[in-house]
Amino acid sequence: MSVAGVIWVQGAGELASGVALRLARSGYHLVMAEIANPLAVRRLVAFSEAVYEKRAMVEGTLGVLVDSLAEPTEENRVRIVVDPKAQLMSSCQISAVIDARMTKVQPKPLPVGGALLIGLGPGFVCGRDADAVIETHRGARLGEVIHEGEAFPNTGVPGVVAGQSARRVVYSPKAGHLTPEVKIGDLVTKGQRLGTVAGEPIISNLDGMVRGLVHPAAELSAGEKVGDVDPRGHLVDPALVTDKALAIAGGVLEALLGVGILPSQS
């Protein structure tokens, strides 16, 4: 058994943040690395929001954007850096790397050295891209730790929520920035305008709650996912990490403990 150094999480979107939240609550010290233009939609549960706002709170756990890993953690165990190539990884003692970029294709390698590498979802093959893979597909064994082979392949179809799949997701018609006309948590109706991109309207395809919208500063390409309307409406709390993210986080925790990487003692 050994006490962990830093757990490095590459990516800070919704699923990555669910993993980070559970690990932070368990006592691990975390660094999350993001791109300079995060496109997270469920921003109330994504530490990537700190790239735009300097700080992000996910279920009471604070993440802070830092320029250097020499900066102390103080109030929190989650530091966020803009480091898409993980160049800062060599500046701290890493016990494990969680590749949560969710590209869903074979990932570009990270400079992990001898650290344990855990990949989330499709694209990773054990022994080729990662030491272990965590299943992210609801139709398979969600949260399972895979030590041989790979996760369920990407279907390219959004998950089903209350009988709705593709219709709950809205996309940018053009390149540009979102000018929102609603906010996350608002109840909307089918046909209602959620905002515009480059003057073109973004229209809800159904009644429900706005569960997510990209940050207005995010630079969008045409066809980029820009929002999510949940048909369950007021029954949803958009500030809570999903059961899916928590299940995946449980798999990561199992993988860490299974090789003796324990939480820090301070």
Question: Over the stretch 153-177, which tens digit does the pLDDT of each residue have?
Answer: 887 766 666 566 678 899 999 999 9
Question: Over the stretch 200-243, which tens digit does the pLDDT of each residue have?
Answer: 999 999 999 999 999 999 999 999 999 999 999 999 999 999 99
Question: Over the stretch 112-124, which tens digit does the pLDDT of each residue have?
Answer: 988 999 999 999 9
pLDDT at 198 over 80: yes
Q: What is the average pLDDT value for the chain, to the nearest integer?
A: 92
Question: Over the stretch 45-62, which tens digit does the pLDDT of each residue have?
Answer: 999 999 999 999 999 999
Question: Over the stretch 125-163, which tens digit does the pLDDT of each residue have?
Answer: 999 999 999 999 988 799 999 999 999 988 776 666 656
pLDDT of residue 138: 87
pLDDT of residue 167: 84
pLDDT at 197 over 90: yes
Q: Tell me, letter by letter, the H, E, C secondary structure of the chain.
A: CEECCEEEEECCCHHHHHHHHHHHHCCCEEEEEECCCCCCCCHHHCHHHHHHHCEEEECCEEEEECCCCCCCCCCCCEEEEECCCCHHHHHCCEEEEEECCCCCCCCCCCCCCCCEEEEECCCCEECCCECEEECCCCCCCCCCEECCCECCCCCCCCCCECCECHHHEEECCCCECEEECCCCCCEECCCCEEEEECCEEEECCCCEEEEEECCCCCCECCCCEEEEEECCHHHCCCCCCCHHHHHHHHHHHHHHHHCCEECCCC
**Residues of the chain above pLDDT 90, percent:** 83
pLDDT at 73 over 70: no
Higher-pLDDT residue of 5 and 116 is 116
pLDDT bracket for residue 25 (50, 70, 90): very high
pLDDT at 4 over 70: no
Structural domains of the chain in order of their starting residue, each with its CATH number: 2-153+243-262 (3.40.50), 166-231 (2.40.50.100)
pLDDT of residue 1: 47
pLDDT at 266 over 60: no
pLDDT bracket for residue 92 (50, 70, 90): confident
pLDDT bracket for residue 2 (50, 70, 90): low
Q: What is the pTM of this model?
A: 0.93
